[in-house]
């Protein structure tokens, strides 16, 4: 694989990871980039038509009923039930809990491979946004471990999460973000020829 190939993964993973993990107020430059349509020419995954379709949604950062910050609060923080929870163990644990067995398995994998994402608070490492930023770290520091990270800890549940986010986010920007992540994750899987581990999905 070329240096440009890994650079593409790192850049797209960081942009998407920040978009899913941080509040809009904390990543204003990334929000401006994604809502500007300027990204479509350089994004390495998907057709021009697919990217334009997504860009139309990402350009809408205000609805009749919500601001972007309010939508982020509803989709990622609460206080009410999240329409598509961003933690892997909610999808992979029979009890739909955070810090489930799959989180512990990820933590063990991270420790074994000396991956420290320096969390500032006690939170699950299997947040979808954190995992995408972890993809960038692994590509830059230990790229041979990328197939393991994707196959074992992201792909088994990631598409289910993104599909449900697209259906239930009810806010154009975050629907577009989920579609762009789906397109990008598909590109990574195809280019690396990865088969996802088969795991039971419990969250519906």
**Span 56-74, pLDDT tens digits:** 999 999 999 999 999 999 9
Has residue 154 got a pLDDT over 80? yes
Has residue 155 got a pLDDT over 70? yes
Residue-wise DSSP of the chain: --HHHHHHHHHHHHHHHHHHHS-GGG-HHHHHHHHSSGGGGT--SS-HHHHHHHHHHHT--B-SS-BHHHHHIIIII-SSPPSS--BHHHHHSTT--TT-HHHHHHHHHHHHTT-----SSS--TTBHHHHHHHHHHHHHH-GGGHHHIIIIIIHHHHHHHHHHHHHH--SHHHHHHHHHHHHHHHHHHHHHT-----------
pLDDT of residue 1: 67
Rounded CA-CA distance 10/29 in Å is 17
Which of 1.10.3480.10, 3.40.630.30, 1.10.1040.10, 3.30.470.20 is the CATH number of 3-192? 1.10.3480.10
Rounded CA-CA distance 54/48 in Å is 10
Break the chain into its structural domains and give their ranges: 3-192
pLDDT of residue 204: 82
Can you give the pTM of this predicted structure? 0.96
Read off the pLDDT of residues 107-125 as tens digits, 9 standing for 90 and up: 999 999 998 776 667 789 9
The rounded mean pLDDT for the chain is 95
Has residue 21 got a pLDDT over 80? yes
């Amino acid at each position: 694989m070329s240096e440009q190939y890994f650079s593409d993964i790192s850049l797209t993973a960081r942009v998407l990871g920040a978009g899913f993990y941080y509040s809009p107020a904390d990543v204003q430059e990334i929000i401006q980039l994604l809502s500007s349509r300027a990204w479509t020419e350089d994004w390495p995954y998907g057709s021009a038509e697919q990217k334009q379709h997504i860009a139309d949604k990402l350009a809408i950062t205000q609805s009749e009923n919500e601001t972007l910050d309010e939508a982020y609060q509803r989709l990622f923080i609460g206080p009410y039930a999240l329409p598509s929870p961003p933690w892997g163990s909610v999808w992979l644990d029979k009890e739909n809990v955070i810090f489930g067995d799959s989180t512990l398995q990820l933590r063990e994998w991270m420790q074994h491979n000396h991956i420290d994402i320096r969390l500032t608070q006690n939170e699950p490492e299997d947040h979808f946004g954190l995992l995408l930023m972890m993809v960038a770290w692994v590509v830059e520091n230990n790229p041979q471990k990328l197939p393991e990270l994707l196959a074992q800890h992201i792909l088994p549940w990631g598409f289910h999460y993104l599909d449900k986010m697209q259906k239930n986010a009810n806010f154009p920007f975050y629907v577009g973000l989920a579609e762009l992540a789906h397109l990008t994750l598909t590109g990574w899987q195809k280019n690396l020829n990865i088969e996802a581990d088969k795991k039971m999905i419990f969250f519906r």
